[in-house]
Chain A
Amino acid sequence: MANGSLGEFEVLVLLAVLRVGDRANGSAVRADIEATTSRRIARGAVYVTVDRLEDKGLLTSRLGPRPSPRGGPPTRFYRVSTAGRRAVAQSVSDILRMHAGLKANLPVVDPS
């Protein structure tokens, strides 16, 4: 993976973290991607990807409050770092530029 460019799924994850906002934990990210796109996503894939993005410095994370009263470990929430915002903006605009002008030749995908 060349430095600076993002995989497609990484882009989706970054976008989902941005979309969900404050409550972006693994489950919420996955749910958002699944709800918005037409994909089923393996649970593990999300976590592996956020870990990788965090390693690259594109995401930051913090532990949430302890979910009392049942106890158990707290969940981890993510935010897109400045570098992350830049990278995702770059990727999206790259895709959009590549895509521009091809509309006529692509089948129409129903967003629902």
Chain B
Amino acid sequence: MSPSVWRRLAARVALRGVPPTRRPDLLADLEEDSEARRQRVGRVRLSGWWLRELWSLGRAYRQEAGARHQTGRRLGSDALAQDVRHAVRSLRATPALTVTVLLVLTLGIGASTAIFSVVDAVALRALPFDGADRLIAVAETNTKSGRVASPQMQDFFDWHARQDVFAGLAAIAPYQGVTLNGGAGRAPEILAGQAITADFFPVLRVTPILGRIFTAEDETDTTSNVAIISFGLWQRVFGERPDVVGQVLDTQLRRFTVVGVLPRDFASPIVATDSIDFWLPYVALPEEHIRGNVYSDFYWVIGRLRDGVSIGRAQSRMEQITAGLAAVYPRWFKDRGVIVEPLVTYLAGDVRAWMLLLLGAVTCVLAIAYVNVANLLMVRSTTRTRERDIRSALGASRLDLARAILVETLLLSVAGTAFGVCAAWWGVGILRASLPANVPRAATIGIDLRVLIAASAMAVCGGLVTSLAPLVGATSRRGTGSLRDSSRTMTVGAGQRWANSALIVAEVALAAFLLVGAGLFLDSYARATHVNLGLDYHNVLYLRLRPVNYANVPAEAKAAIVARNKAAFFDILSQVQALPGVKGAGLVSSSVPISDGLVTADLAIPGQTLPLDADIELSSISVDYLQTIRVPLVRGRAFRDTDRQGSELVALINVAAADRYFPAREPVGRVIALNKINRRIVGVVGNIRTAGPEHKQREAAFAPMTQVVTWGATLVVRTEGSPYALAGPIDGAIWSRFPDLAMPPARTLEDNLGALVAPRRVNMQLLGLFGLLGIVVAAVGVYGVMTSVVAQQTRAIGIRMALGATPQTVLWAVLRRTVTFLGIGIVTGLTAGLMLAAVVQRFLFEVSSRDPGIYVAASAVLAAAGLGAAILPARRAARVDPLITLKAE
């Protein structure tokens, strides 16, 4: 909004009470003075002066009006100011309650604002592209399992050619780990790339700041080697040279010619962890046009809906196209379906459901907080009946009384929100840091205008709803009954007592519900982290060595390079083994355990027919590898130094493979064919959960690294102390053989495990926190209500005690009442939990969402907290002195 609009708005507000015909010339004079002043003071001070003057104008007229008519009718803003002053005074008069309410609101609003800002950034907010709501992703589904799978290039080419519902359709393939050669004071670095088809940038409506985008010709020309680079890479490598187009990006894979530079704020929507440095045209292999046995993994297809085409229509059109293809290639399309989803939903994937779950849980927390505040305010309003009756006797209308309550509640709500947002500011930082790496758009999480608007809306709505409870209590009472009686004898109307009870039951129910959730996630996490992985993952560092990309090496030279590199690997291994602090070290060709990739081999057993899906994980390893990660040998022997090239080809298999492929037979001594090479099994080793705790143990086989051709290797080192302390010396050993090798940073197996269980950890922590908040807030609620109940019934209790009731009886009477509340609340909460159990089941690990133990535990914890909170008021009741109570009449 322009300044003049603001000024006009301010004038509208400030000049209420000034005759409208009078306003223009008042403003004209003000403007004249303001002009004169402008020469002397700064803008900010001028604005302040202007506002003060404006306000003084309006105030003078309103006072004049009051004096002239002598009605005493207050005008809106002054009445409001008076109500606010009154509210502040009365809130300060009951500091304990005010602080409690503010604390509860701060916790509730802080938690929900923080979670909302995460959920919003990750799953709800539009993608940062022009017309982002028209962006979609196309994927394939397994119609049998319902799982979403990577689209296949073969299908993409046909979709692209036949579709008429998208303005563009682009395929994206990961192109990771290309090493950019060093030079001119730069160390070599590993770049992340994406291979994309020509529609990619038009679909996203991104144009390069320099150069051009790819064309369809780039996809067929295998010799051009063109690349588009990110703004960051342009800065880093080319120092923002304006003549970068045509320059060479010198990688160990190929020498690329830069044809374009992307804008600074462009980030590929599809990113695993890091940002993408360069883009290549997708040059398809000939096999990718044939539906044979070449498959694509981790591919993406994105598109932009044509104007006027709904996503439903796009879906049915794609199904139609795919059905047409399926008629031609029935074998390929067995169990294969197609799905069109909004890109923002597809990106969030499973995380979206998770985020919505968190949002649901935190909504519960917020609901408890507000219910609690309503309850406390209602309790308080009963103790202030006298004050209200006096005001009403002095002529305050019911509207005036209602407004006073409303103002008070809104004031609390706004203050609570302000504190809550501050708490959230702090919490978001912690949340962002603790989120697992697979959460998309995590970097954009923060408290921004959207979040603030949501929080403010929440404050106002919450305040309005919360004030309903005391409002009902206050304005439904007629007359000035309490003025005639002493305050001690005052009892509360049945309606209000009922409302009190309902609120406390609701609070307990919500807390029970949250606690069950917390229990389920806690248990899942505990189970996931206590799964026996089959190896000892503590203090194990690993480093991938991929010294040369072989793509440009002529075939006849490859064997020599491979042999030389292998010798170097073993030399590095023996250097590392000799380092002080190293307990053991080994080499493995494939991925290390507890990480992403797994390599399966073609399996055959002479004399045996295996099922069609028979396969086996295969790694080639050095002699010391299994010992280094502490995988036990179950039968037979481990590899020895004598298992070398030229000696008999040998293999180890794990227990799972032995059980599956050699049931009731001794595997040691038998022959299996791995990738069509016969090897004799010399031993059986323990199972490893290669893919992490939540995947089942797979059949695995190992071959000596000396007996296979390896392109690269991973160095695995077990250390005595902190693994990272040895990263430097290990790098030294590697550089002694590969001086210009760019290495990804060393990681530990523990890091990997941490990353795999991170979603569970975050879930457990958040839900645990919510559960705790739920208990605390519910306990506060029980305490508040029971205290007021006891206070209101002091006289009745006094009479009962005068008539012979013992302190115990009184104590039990109070506790019995609490038990009723708790009982109804817990049963309600658990029932709700059971009904929603199916929703959370997919987020759990080895725990049933109806696990009775957890329900019982949650009830017990909540019951204990609730009774604990009621003990204090109950004892106060038991200590009532009948004499004093009755004298007070």
Instruction: Please report A residues at the B interface, Cβ cutoff 8 Å.
Output: 25-27, 42-45, 47-48, 51-52, 63, 67, 72-76
Report if A76-B61 is in contact (Cβ < 8 Å); known contacts: A27-B32, A27-B33: no
Residue B24 interfacial (CB < 8 Å): yes
- List CB contacts (< 8 Å) of B15-44 with chain A: 22, 24-33
Interface residues of B (CB under 8 A from A): 22, 24-33, 53, 56-61, 63-64
List A contacts of B30 (CB < 8 A): 27, 43
Are A73 and B58 in contact (CB-based, < 8 A)? no
Q: CB within 8 A of A42: which of B25, B27, B28, B56?
A: B56
Q: Which of A43, A44, A48, A73 contacts B25 (CB 8 A)?
A: A73
A99 to B61 CA separation, bound complex (whole angstroms): 33
Nearest Cβ in chain A — how far from B78, in angstroms?
A: 14
Residue in A26, A63, A74 whose beta carbon sits within 8 Å of that of B26 in the complex: A26
For A27, give the chain B residue with the smallest CB separation: B29
6 A-B pairs with least C-beta separation: A44-B60, A73-B24, A76-B25, A44-B57, A27-B29, A42-B56
How many residue pairs between the two chains, A and B, have CB atoms under 8 Å in the bound complex?
57
**What distance in Å separates the Cβ of B322 from its nearest Cβ neighbour in chain A?**
66
Q: What distance in Å separates the Cβ of A40 from its nearest Cβ neighbour in chain B?
A: 11
Given B22, B32, B53, which contacts A51 in the complex, CB threshold below 8 Å? B22
Which residues on the A side are within 8 Å of B33 (C-beta)? 27
Return B208 CB to nearest CB of chain A, in Å.
Answer: 46
Knowing A27-B33, A51-B22, A52-B64 are in contact, say whether A44-B28 is a contact too (CB < 8 A).
no
Q: Once bound together, how far apart are the Cα atoms of A48 and B63, in whole Å?
A: 9
Q: How far is the CB of A32 from chain B (nearest CB, A)?
A: 13
Task: Choose from A45, A73, A76 the contact partner of B60 (Cβ within 8 Å).
Answer: A45
Across the interface, which residues of A come within 8 angstroms of B53, CB to CB?
A: 43
B64 nearest in chain A by CB position: A48
Residues from chain A with a CB closer than 8 A to the CB of B22 are 47, 51
Contact residues in A for B31 (Cβ distance below 8 Å): 72
Contact B32 A44 (CB under 8 A): no
Nearest A residue to B14 via CB reads: A44
Given contacts A67-B28, A74-B28, A75-B29, contact A43 B56 (CB under 8 A): yes
Q: Is the CB of B28 within 8 A of A43?
A: no
Find chain A residues with CB under 8 A from B27 CB.
72-73
- The chain B residue sitting closest to A46, CB to CB, is B60
Contact of B32 among A42, A47, A48, A75 (CB under 8 A): A75
Instruction: Report whether A44 and B58 are in contact in the complex, using a CB–CB cutoff of 8 Å.
Output: yes
The answer to whether B29 and A44 touch across the interface, beta carbons within 8 angstroms, is no
Please give the distance in Å from A13's CB to the nearest CB on chain B. 13
Q: Which residues of B contact A74 (CB under 8 A)?
A: 25, 28
A-B contact pairs, 9 of them (CB 8 A): A25-B25, A27-B33, A42-B60, A43-B30, A44-B56, A44-B57, A47-B22, A47-B61, A76-B28
Question: Given A25, A42, A48, which contacts B29 in the complex, CB threshold below 8 Å?
Answer: A25
Bound form: Cα–Cα A52–B63 in Å: 13
- Closest Cβ of chain B to A102, distance in Å, is 31
Q: Max chain B CB contacts within 10 Å: which of A44, A48, A51?
A: A44
Residues from chain B with Cβ under 8 Å of A52 in the complex: 64
Q: Complex Cα distance A45/B57, Å?
A: 7
Residue on B nearest A31 in the bound complex, by CB: B33
Minimum C-beta distance from A59 to chain B (A): 14
- Which residues of A sit under 8 angstroms from B63, Cβ to Cβ? 48
A76 to chain B: which residues have CB within 8 Å?
A: 25, 28-29
A48 contacts which chain B residues (CB < 8 A)? 60-61, 63-64
Q: Roughly how many angstroms separate A25 CA and B56 CA in the complex, as a whole number?
A: 17
Q: Determine whether the beta carbon of B28 is less than 8 Å from that of A75.
A: yes
Closest chain B residue, CB of each to CB of A47: B26
Report the minimal beta-carbon distance from B522 to chain A, rounded to whole angstroms. Answer: 64
Determine whether the beta carbon of A75 is less than 8 Å from that of B25.
yes
